[in-house]
Structure 1
């Protein structure tokens, strides 16, 4: 699988039920992906259950070696994987896009291989001795989204395998080839049955989450779907890690340098054309520098090339699917109708080929506008003016989500004071959306629960066991 054609041949369906996948940049078919039913899900679960005892019996070092070999396999197939991502997701090859995602997947495997959960001595006082161990759960079900289909899959696969679980993964029905291809490459080195893939829509996902064979379900996606997963898995007391909707807020303080922060704010919002759970999706800027910040961000937007995902000059691509394109378009139109000002972007050509929506900056917008309070998940950023930091904090914290947030300013101590008052699982200072394999990540409120990444992420896919005596 060293060419794109060989990789695609390995994952296209040649028989059975299929679904045709279109490239969002061209609206042309990429190929036919398999479409699985509950019987095929049960078969995948059976393979995972059969493989799990032997996988768990390996030493920690042996499993780490497998993860490093999986990273080697990804790196050997990096360009074909990136080509497939570019076609199926629409993200360009260059910049923090397709090649970046493939490289990050390999790096995350290596970082996860380098970590392990230590045995903790809880009490050792001469009379009582107790240790805390972490054991594999069994079979983990992973349900992944369409926006970062390889990297987020790796975030779920790597820790699960590291601690001795086996995995059944269901990629989004919008981007099945990316999940299938990643697994096909990794499975070149893994024992049979350790990593399994099923393809289907929400109906198959519901069958997964209701199945008692899964000791753990990991899900990244909308809060609405997350709520259904909680309900369907409740009877089985299934452990859950839920990374749900965001609508991240950023606050720019009066002492920020507009030119210095504009680029990082723009890419914090428009990374992957705005289709990132922890992207900056609403920005509150102090009145003293409001116009300068808006203008500086708009200039960055004008200079960021958007185009076909296979064009090496592109840094922004299309929205991944027509449904999401319509959500962005509707919210921007509603903002304009309410009196908000489009500084740059807007007015997409509805008859153009591909799901392209121009990078859009919306200023002079009411803090209660739908474009502000609803997660647009696309290339549009509303910028709200404030004079009193208490108003900015109240608006930032008013929503029922809290995945990430950011504070921008020259005085770090002052920025830290504001950051401590923001209701989000992660608050960045003078950056937004940065993640690290050693730093735990998770949401608050309706943005979900459970931690990923680092040792806390390994514990989340394990069962704690106390040995007392």
Structure 2
């Protein structure tokens, strides 16, 4: 890492207005090393703390976050452009997640296996050590709460570097939580990708937990392999939506719009490509265009920054140049900020980036298929494996989709949703390991097996 890196800063502009939000320094390699040492020094005492007490401390941290929910949500909106309601919902989800892990952590059980009458094997979960958590900007509070909560209640200590696109939000959340925990249990680091790379390369890590791009996740997997560090990663997705014949096209359009346009398309499990049965394609497209106009009406929600908007616009422009038709949106609007309209693309040719790569913007590319099997085949033909949705009145089709789609989560007749405490394993380019739910406690711990026998000659 170049000398003098700590003189660099991260400058954040409000994506809605273009006005400055603030500036924070980028941590250098020495600061990264010091952060890991702080967390490592705190680990023995925290690991030895009874799980019930760890749960109580995490509960206190959750309550402290709840008490400052409005402040955290407002900062999130200023940095990322997330709507006030979505930002508040993210904080509420974070509080609930922390409370959930405060309850689940002390109940995280091992296993027992009898051999003969005089012997028993006991398998018990043990904390891994220092967990490096690298979290994203698109839902910075809720996602961070899952990784931090599971690691802390498991007896790990954490070094947390939030995304450079939401550094003020991350710093505020960490300060609130850390104030309720012993020194060094949660260590905050501000920085960009070079900071994350420096942190991942530090000796003494027990695990790396990353939610973000596939390219970064792959690089971290290589670092983890080189250092024998456990890596948990939820990375990019290119989630398909398959719409069968027989569904209400207007309802299907509402589902497609929600999946494609919510949070300006900046959701890991957003709908990225749509395969609609020819029997309902025309009324579906008409209804989807109307939905797009509603989502765009007024100023709409901006993308997080100009770099993201430019990337989304480039994918749309490529598709249109290749023959796709923009039935709604499709161009950068005038005015301040980094807005991009809800966009509907029809007649999208195979091979363009809006079908093969994660767009992460409010774009709904539509491909018309002749039958459900064709839609299913096209949906499955992808390197990503995060999630997929099917809308169908045919339960045989639903079961076949669940069996054949190579993704961590298959959703039937709802683009979003899931039971509280649910979990999933991404596949392929989307990552590996459980990223949430009770199973995340397994990721944050390792298992020690002890074989107990009787001393020689004892009866």
TM-score scaled by structure 1? 0.91
RMSD: 1.8
Other structure's SS at 1:196 match: strand
**CA–CA separation in structure 2 for the residues paired with 1:345 and 1:101:** 28
Corresponding residue SS for 1:150? helix
- The answer (yes or no) to whether the contact 1:273–1:317 under 8 Å persists in 2 is yes
Give the match for residue 323 of structure 2.
339
1:318 to 289, 299, 302: 302
- Give 3-state SS (helix, strand or coil) of 1:301's partner: helix
Q: How far off its partner does 1:285 sit?
A: 0.6
Q: Deviations over 1:391-432 (max 9, x none)?
A: 222211111111111111123343122222111011111122
Alignment of 1:300-311 (within 5 A): 300-304=291-295
Q: 1:23 to 1:306 in 2, by over 3 A?
A: farther
Superposed displacement of residue 245, structure 1: 1.1
Is 2:31 aligned against 1:31?
Answer: no
Q: Distance in 1 between matches of 2:361 and 2:139?
A: 14
Q: Which residue of 2 aligns with 1:462?
A: 445
Structure 2 CA distance for aligned equivalents of residues 440 and 132 of structure 1: 23
- Post-superposition Cα deviations, 1:261-293, rounded to whole Å, max 9, x if no partner, equal 332332122221101111111111111011222
Conserved in 2, the CA contact under 8 Å of 1:44 and 1:196? yes
What does residue range 120-139 of structure 1 map to in structure 2 within 5 Å? 120-123=111-114, 126=117, 128-139=119-130
Q: Which runs of 5+ in 1 are unaligned?
A: 1-14, 309-315
For the pair 1:297 / 2:280, whether they are aligned, the reply is no
Rate the CA distance shift 1:235–1:338 in 2: closer, same or farther, 3 A: closer
Structure showing greater radius of gyration is 2
Looking at structure 2, the residues matched to 168 and 125 of structure 1 have their Cα atoms a distance apart, in angstroms, of 44
Is 1:257 the counterpart of 2:257? The answer is no
Instruction: Please give the secondary structure, in 2, of the residue aligned with 1:405.
Output: strand
Aligned equivalent of 2:219: 228
Correspondence for 2:400 among 405, 410, 417: 417
Which of 148, 153, 170 does residue 157 from structure 1 map onto?
148
Q: Which moved more, 1:264-273 or 1:120-129?
A: 120-129
Q: Please tell me whether residue 93 in structure 1 is matched to residue 84 in structure 2.
A: yes
More deviation in 388-397 or 278-287?
388-397
Secondary structure at 2:18's aligned position in 1? coil
Can you list the C-alpha shifts for 1:425-459, whole angstroms capped at 9, x where unaligned?
Answer: 11111122435552122211111111122221100
Cα distance in 1, alignment partners of residues 173 and 215 from structure 2: 27
What do residues 364-416 of structure 1 show as CA deviations (whole Å, max 9, x unaligned)? 21233221112111111101110133322221111111111111112334312
Distance 1:252 1:125, change over 3 A: farther
Q: Aligned pairs, how many? A: 445
8 Å Cα contact 1:416-1:429 kept in structure 2: no
Q: Give the drift of 1:137.
A: 0.5
Task: Give the unaligned 5+ runs of structure 2.
Answer: 1-5, 453-459
Comparing 142-151 with 456-465, greater Cα deviation is found at: 142-151
Q: Is the 8 A contact 2:233 2:435 kept in 1?
A: no
Normalization by structure 2: what TM-score?
Answer: 0.93
- Structure 1 counterpart SS, 2:84: coil
> Deviation digits for residues 213-263 of structure 1, max 9, x if unmatched?
211001111111112112223221110001111011111111222223332
